Structure formats: C-alpha cells, structure tokens
Amino acid sequence: MAGNPDNLRKAAQRKSQATSRRADTAIREMVKRGERITFRGVARTAGCSIDFVYSNPDIRARIEHLRAQQQGSPADGAPRDDARLSDSSIVRALTAQLAELKQRHYREVTDLRAALAAAHGEILTLRRQGART
C-alpha cells in the first residue's frame, strides 16, 4: 500500500493555510489588545510553533514590521526611553556596588584566614613551649 502523495500534499497545504489564518488572527488580536508583538507571543496566541511563524515569509514580515512600529512609538503606560535609561543606569550602579562589596569581602575573608592561620601557629608554638617546661 503506497498511499497517495497528492492527498498528503493537499492535507499539508490545508493545515499550513489554517495555521497561517490562526497566526493572522492572533496578530490582529494582539494589536487590538495593545500587546507587544513578538514571534513567541504570536506563536503562543495562534497555537502554532515558533518555527512556523519564522518560516512563513508573510507572517514573519508582518511581525517584523509591527515590532519596528512598536519600538518606534512607546505604547500608553510603557516606560519612556529616559525612564528605561535611568532604570538601566541604576542597575549598572547597583551591579558595580555589588562587585566592589564582593571584592572587599573576599579580601577581608582572605586576611582573616591568614590571621587565623597565624594564631593557630602561635598556639602550637606556645603548647610546645609549655610541654617542655
């Protein structure tokens, strides 16, 4: 039983067209709701794979176009560029502070370990001297 390859091709084509319609509907819904348009978001909303969204040239072009539009004009309630910049500068400043604190604590721990080793050496020396007398 060899099967009918034409039927398989037609079924695959119908499935692909149905998925394309779902992706198109998902994009329209996301735009209406004011959501960020991303490949992952469209795939999740349409119930299809991310690979399908990336490999379909029409859907891919539409998503890229909408993403470019969204990046050009922030949506209502979205942080402005200066707010995002101040947030990122805060993150950088806190990260630098954390790095400095980690270095300082590492140096302190290293110094304390050296002092502890020296104290253990002195205790050993004193015990040996006490045993001789």
Give me the chain's average pLDDT, please: 85
Length of the chain: 133
Q: How far apart are CA 84 and CA 114, in angstroms?
A: 45
Beta-carbon-side half-sphere exposure of residue 62 (alpha carbons within 13 Å): 16
The mean per-residue pLDDT over the stretch 67-84 comes to 63
Model pTM greater than 0.85? no
CB distance 11 to 47 below 8 Å: no
* Distances 106 to 53, 66, 98 between C-alpha atoms, Å: 49, 49, 12
Q: How far apart are CA 98 and CA 95, in angstroms?
A: 5
Q: Is 79 exposed, middle or buried (0-12, 13-18, 19+ CB in 10 A)?
A: exposed
Q: How far apart are CA 36 and CA 46, in angstroms?
A: 15
| pLDDT of 5 | 82
CB distance 24 to 43 below 8 Å: no
Residue among 59, 58, 39, 57 nearest 49 (CA):
39
Per-residue pLDDT band at 120 (split at 50, 70, 90) = very high
